[in-house]
């Protein structure tokens, strides 16, 4: 699963620290997500999408 | 704050106890020296975990989140699986080399701690994708 977190974070002018604080996770989790080393839980995916005012499928790109 | 400081306190208690034990026993032989080195490395690992939690808290982030919990869970299950084989090897060597039971348990427990630390480092760098 790929994601657009880094791109959307830059668009919203957010640092990794700020995004981590907003979705209540550690900064390392955001780093892992951006590097594609971690697939988030549904709740975290929803929280991140809501922070970017987007839908989950716009942030996380599922591959068949 | 409790969760952040706990690993540091436990690590320092372990290091203090081992240091007292070493000081009381006098001279270290090579086996004890290796054990002391491994314990110090594990203590350093515990201190690192504690410090990283404190840093997260200072940044206004949680000390633990879903990723850190998942890494601990994965590291625990892998190290448990590896420990079974470690105990088998230790039991075989104990029988062959006539090692004393308390020494065997010491190496076994130390080995389990090392396996956990190595598994944690592995998942910390490789990531947890579950795909």
- Report whether A26 contacts B65 (CB < 8 A): yes
For residue B58, the tally of other CB atoms under 10 A from its CB is: 9
- Contact at CB, A28 and B68, closer than 8 angstroms: yes
CB pairs under 8 A between A and B: 53
How confident is the model at residue B27, as a pLDDT? 72
**B21 pLDDT more than 80:** no
B83-100 pLDDT per residue, tens? 999 999 998 988 888 878
- Nearest chain B residue to A45, by CA: B66
* Interface confidence (ipTM) of the complex: 0.87
Is the CB of residue B68 less than 8 Å away from at least one CB of chain A?
yes
Where are the strands (E) in chain A, listed by range?
2-3, 60-61
Is the CB of residue B60 less than 8 Å away from at least one CB of chain A?
yes
In this complex, the residue of B56, B61, B128 whose CB is nearest that of residue A38 is B128
Residue A15, SS3?
A: coil
What sign has the CA pseudo-torsion B39, B44, B49, B53? positive
State the pLDDT confidence band at B131, using cuts at 50, 70 and 90. Answer: low
Query: Burial of A40 by CB count in 10 Å (0-12 exposed, 13-18 middle, 19+ buried)?
Result: buried
């Amino acid at each position: 699963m790929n994601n657009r977190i880094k791109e959307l974070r830059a668009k919203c002018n957010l640092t990794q620290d700020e995004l981590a604080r907003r979705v209540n996770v550690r900064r390392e989790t955001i780093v892992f997500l951006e590097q594609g080393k971690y697939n988030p839980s549904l709740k975290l995916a929803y929280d991140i999408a809501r922070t970017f005012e987007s839908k989950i499928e716009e942030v996380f790109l599922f591959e068949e | 704050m409790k969760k952040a400081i706990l690993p540091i306190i436990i690590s320092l208690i372990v290091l203090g106890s081992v240091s007292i034990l070493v000081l009381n026993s006098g001279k270290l032989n090579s086996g004890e020296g290796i054990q002391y080195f491994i314990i110090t490395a594990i203590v350093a690992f515990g201190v690192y975990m504690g410090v990283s939690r404190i840093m997260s808290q200072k940044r206004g982030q949680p000390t633990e989140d879903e990723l850190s919990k998942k890494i601990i869970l994965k590291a625990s299950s892998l190290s448990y699986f590896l420990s079974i084989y470690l105990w088998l090897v230790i039991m075989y060597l104990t029988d062959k080399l006539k090692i004393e039971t308390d020494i065997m348990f010491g190496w076994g427990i130390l080995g389990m701690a090392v396996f956990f630390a190595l598994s944690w480092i592995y998942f910390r760098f490789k990531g947890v994708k579950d795909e």
